Structures are given as structure tokens and as C-alpha cells.
Structure 1
Amino acid sequence: MPLLRITALNSHTQLLVWKITETFEALFSSVALKDVSLARLDGMKSESHQKGFLGVRRLLMEAGYTDFDLYYDEFGKPHLKDGRHISISHSNDFSVIVLSEENIGADLEILKEKTLKLAPRFMDISHLHHLSEEDRLRKATVVWGIKESVFKIKNEVGISFKDHIFEDDFNLEDRQCGVSLQFNNTTERFDIVFDFIEDYVFVCAFEKK
């Protein structure tokens, strides 16, 4: 299945989702890659990771870009040559990109029990009280995605998910919440939107103005 959906997250932010059902060969033959991307692809040990990487390049094409329009800074953050903001994520059978006029961070996570087991290491577990086991897993995965998304925006050495990024409590049906980053004697706020795509959680963070 090629492009699964395009969703407007707000008036100037777009989410594109690719469900990967193609073979590696089919994906590879459908995109043009610059030399540095070919080398990066060749260095990936997992075919799933390779296909996620190629899925992102197919999404770029859907948005009117190519791999040649994308570059990474010294911290590994992706950028587009035209200055539009981009965030990238892929997990198992899905690749996503978010394009925006705002600085954004996006994350895609598959629902897995390990995330819930690790929850005390990265979140306030009181936010999981009084929920069913299924919803505890879903909420813990959203919180992990929130922290990943904020980190993708800030990308500063020393930021701890547990000690510096604090999500406001929220209900799963809200599909949005707020979060604070308290780091280096400064507090910054971010707006969060999230959604569920089959057995995956999608999260996007926006810098609060």
C-alpha cells in the first residue's frame, strides 16, 4: 500500500503516512538517492530500517520533494533546503513525515509491552492510575512519544526524559495536551497532538509561542 493518508495537524502543518507493504527492491527502485543516502542505506543492518528509510523518501516525493532536498545538521536533525520544517519517524510497517512552517518534532511508536514496563523510568506513573491495562499501555506509549518529540525539537545534550520533560496529565480521547521542558534554569512549553494509527502511536510537538 502506498500513501496511506495526509492529515492537516493545523493550518500550516501536514502529516503524511506511508504503510510499507512493498518489498525492499520495489521501494528502492522507486526513489532517487544521493550518494550519502546510498551509503547510509547500505550501512543499515535491518531490512525493516532500510524500508522505513525508503518509505520516508517516498513521502518526500508525495510532498513534492526528493532526497536531494533533504539534509541533516551536525546533531542529526533533518532539514529541507527551502527552509520548511520537517520531522521524520518510522517504525516497523510505517513511515511518517511532518511538514510545517513551525519548528516541530514528531515520533511514531509501535505499541509494545516493554514501553509500559519501562514507564517508571521516563514518566510520572500516577498518570497511569485508574486505567485499563490496554489504556495504560497506550498512554505510556503516548508519553514516550511526547518526550521523544520534544527532544527532537530541542536536541540538547543532558536533557533527561524523566527529570526535565513533564507532560500535563491528559485523557486518551483528548488527542492533545501540554508539556513543559525544565532545563538549564529555563521552562519552555510545548503543545502536543497525538493519534493512533492501527497499533502505533503518532505524536507531534509544537513550540508554544
Structure 2
Amino acid sequence: MAIAYRHQVDDDTEFALWRIEEGADELYNQLQLDDHEKAFTKQLSASKRYLHWLGTRVLLRKMLKTDEYIDCKVDAHGKPYLVTLPYHISLSHSFDYAAVMISKTSPVGIDIEQIKQKVERIANKFMNQDELAGINERTKIQQLYVAWCAKEAVYKCHGQKEVSFLDNITLKPFSFEGHGIVDVSLAKADMHIDYEVNYLQYDDYMIGYVKG
């Protein structure tokens, strides 16, 4: 399967989606892995998480246009980074899709989620009362997914643990248009950072992405 969707955010930043239709062996054979990665994948074998892990790495390889080994590590906060290549990266996955965002100049964050009604049940765990009051009943489910994806994208872009979606990441009111921009603030202690997060509905998936 080729790249399903690709978007150039600016001159040095882009993201892409890969629809995972291959089996694990087919994806695995497209990668070069070191011994640590091979051992790690054996722990994931035969799980959906294994396909997601493979899918994001295959997509990263396609976007970087290389057949060489890519040394992709995860730091102490869980943020992936490239050891020898000059790119900031962010990885995400949901059901049949893998998503990767890369930038030559700035930290990035991306999140993809399949849209399902169940998000209503957990909305108050990641949105405060003011945010919930701004939700339009007609587009409730889509807006809730925009909110989740936007907060997750900011969390990944910031790249630090101990950040609460409910208490530290706040969205300004927005209307759902299928694609657009949400103003998001990250505030904790003496830190305050404002972000413009883009969102896009792709079939029955929602995507949030941001460049720091």
C-alpha cells in the first residue's frame, strides 16, 4: 500500500497517513532494525500494536526517502527522535492508519483517532466546563475528537510528561468545519505557550497536528 494522504504544512514540515493493509511480515521486511528493535518487536508480535509500530516506521522510511537504517529512539518522556537525521518527528496510529509528521526546524505533534460515539463518555476527563459549554450539539462528536486530537498533538509537540489534558491544556471556542485551526494554550506553573493547532477530518478519522 502506498501513502494514503500527504500534506505539506510548510516548506520544511509535512505529515502523511499510511493505511495498514499489509501483514506484519510484509511490513517487517521493509525495515532495517537493530538487535534491540528486533527483540522489542518480538514482544509485540501478533498484536495490533505490532502492526502500528511497523506501520509508523515504514511510513517514516517512505517520507525520509531512504533504504538505510533509521536510528529512531524514544527519550525519557516517551517522545520519539532521530539520532542521526536532522528532523523532528511525531508518530501516531489508530485502527487501520499510521500517521507521521516531520519537520527540519521545529518540534511537531500529530494525533489520529477513529471517530466513535464513545468519546462522549470520557469528555469531562479531558475538557473543562468552559470548553464543554462551547460544544455545538449538532457537531458534538466531531468537536470532541478535534479537542482530544488537538490536546494530544500539543502534548506530543511539547514532549514533557506530567501535563494534564484537563488542567494544563485549554482550547478556545471553535466551530467545526471539517478542517480548520484551534487556538490552544499550554499552561503549567510559570510556563505558558500558545499554539495554533490544525485539524482535519479524513473519512471517519480525525487528525490534529501542530508545529511548535
Q: Please indicate, yes or no, whether the TM-score normalized by the shorter chain is above 0.5.
A: yes
Distance 1:45 1:153 in 2: 29
Unaligned stretches of 5+ residues in structure 1:
none
Preserved contact between residue 34 and residue 68 of structure 1 (Cα < 8 Å)? no
- Residue in structure 2 matched with residue 105 of structure 1 by the alignment: 109
Is 2:196 aligned against 1:194? no
In 1, Cα distance between equivalents of 2:120 and 2:46: 25
Amino acid at match of 1:125: L
User: Is the contact made by 2:201 and 2:207 (CA closer than 8 Å) also made in structure 1?
Assistant: yes
Paired-residue identity, %:
26
In structure 2, C-alpha distance between the alignment counterparts of 1:40 and 1:169, rounded to whole Å: 42
Residues 110 and 210, structure 2, Cα contact 8 Å, conserved in 1:
yes
Counterpart in 2 of 1:118? 122
Please, what TM-score do these two structures have when normalized by structure 1? 0.90
How many residues are paired up? 204
The answer as to whether partners of 1:116 and 1:141 remain within 8 angstroms in 2 is no
The answer on whether the counterparts of 2:107 and 2:158 sit within 8 Å (CA) in structure 1 is: no
> What TM-score does the superposition give when structure 2 sets the normalisation length?
0.89
The 5 Å alignment of 1:62-73 reads 62-63=62-63, 64-65=65-66, 68-73=70-75
Alignment match of 2:92 (pick from 89, 94, 97): 89
SS of the residue 2:118 aligns to: helix
> What amino acid does structure 2 have at the position aligned with 1:165?
I
* Number of the residue aligned with 1:165: 169
Q: Deviations over 1:27-86 (max 9, x none)?
A: 122222222222222222662211111111211221224553322222221112223110
Cα distance in 2, alignment partners of residues 76 and 39 from structure 1: 19
Q: Structure 2 CA distance, aligned partners of 1:49 and 1:143?
A: 24
Instruction: Please say which of residues 172-181 and 57-66 is displaced more in the overlay.
Output: 57-66
Distance 1:161 1:155 in 2: 13
Mapped to 1, the partners of 2:149 and 2:123 lie a distance apart of: 12
The amino acid across from 1:91 in the alignment is: S
Change (3 A) 1:42 1:97: same
Deviation at 1:136, TM superposition (A): 0.8
Q: Secondary structure at the match of 2:70?
A: helix
Counterpart-to-counterpart distance in 1, 2:78 and 2:173: 30
Residue 134 of structure 2: aligned partner: 127
Residue 172 of structure 1 aligns to a residue in which SS? coil
Provide the secondary structure at the position in 1 that maps to 2:49: helix
Alpha carbons 1:24, 1:47 under 8 Å: kept: no
